[in-house]
Amino acid sequence: MTLVSAIVLLFMVIDPFGNVPFFVSALKDVDASRRRIVIIRELVIAYAVMVVFLFLGQSFMQILGISGPALTIAGGVILFLIALRMVFPIRGRNSQEEIAGEPFIVPLAIPYIAGPSVLAVELLLMSNEPSRWLVWLLAITAAWAGTSIIVLFGSQVADRLGSRGLIAIERLMGMILVAIAMQMFLTGADMYFGRG
């Protein structure tokens, strides 16, 4: 996987356009003068979690005895389920969490930005090619930076694109993720059966 494809994959999995309404909702009771500070703080926390997991996640998987093919297949399944929710959202169910006061770490940093899907992709990247850790770190940084810009200007993005625009972008990203998920699943299966 190239640097560009890793950036695109991580960016789509983070799904900043889909997270904009969640951020706006979570910060509605926060004083307007504090909102930008809170968003920056949560973005920095999320970035720290992603970087730490990039380097320690593989060791954790080795302790559990999870093989590379199993991780690749599991990553494909997780991405597929996430992509399905993006393309076919569950109607009548509000996935936004009710937050009293100023949010801290949960749910903005984790899981909205540094969610399980992003951590699974990081594990996958590092388990397949650990020697390219600098490339994966650059990919995380670039995807996080793009997400940060969108989230920081969330209300303006929401106003400019409108709810239909946000939904259209999220569905498109979901459809692309379905194809990536299927490729990951097939790669994992090939790794498993090919070595037998």
Distances (CA, A) of 182 to 58, 142, 186: 22, 24, 6
Give the highest mean pLDDT range of 42-46, 65-69, 91-95, 107-111. Answer: 42-46
Distances (CA, A) of 10 to 35, 44, 68, 87: 25, 16, 19, 17
Does pLDDT of 92 surpass 80? no
> How many domains is the chain partitioned into structurally?
1
pTM: 0.81
Higher pLDDT, 165 or 89: 165
CA angle 183, 188, 193 (to 5 degrees): 125
The stretch 76-97 carries a mean pLDDT of: 73
pLDDT for 196 equals 53
pLDDT for 93 equals 45
CA angle 32, 33, 35 (to 5 degrees): 65
Higher pLDDT, 159 or 4: 4
Q: What is the pLDDT of residues 58-76, one digit of tens each?
A: 888 788 888 778 877 887 8
Please state, in angstroms and rounded to a whole number, the distance separating the CA atoms of residues 26 and 91.
Answer: 20
Q: What is the pLDDT of residues 133-163, one digit of tens each?
A: 999 999 999 999 999 999 999 878 888 888 8
Task: Give residues with Cβ within 8 angstroms of 187, minimum separation 6.
Answer: 72, 76
Q: Give the domain extent around 81.
A: 3-194
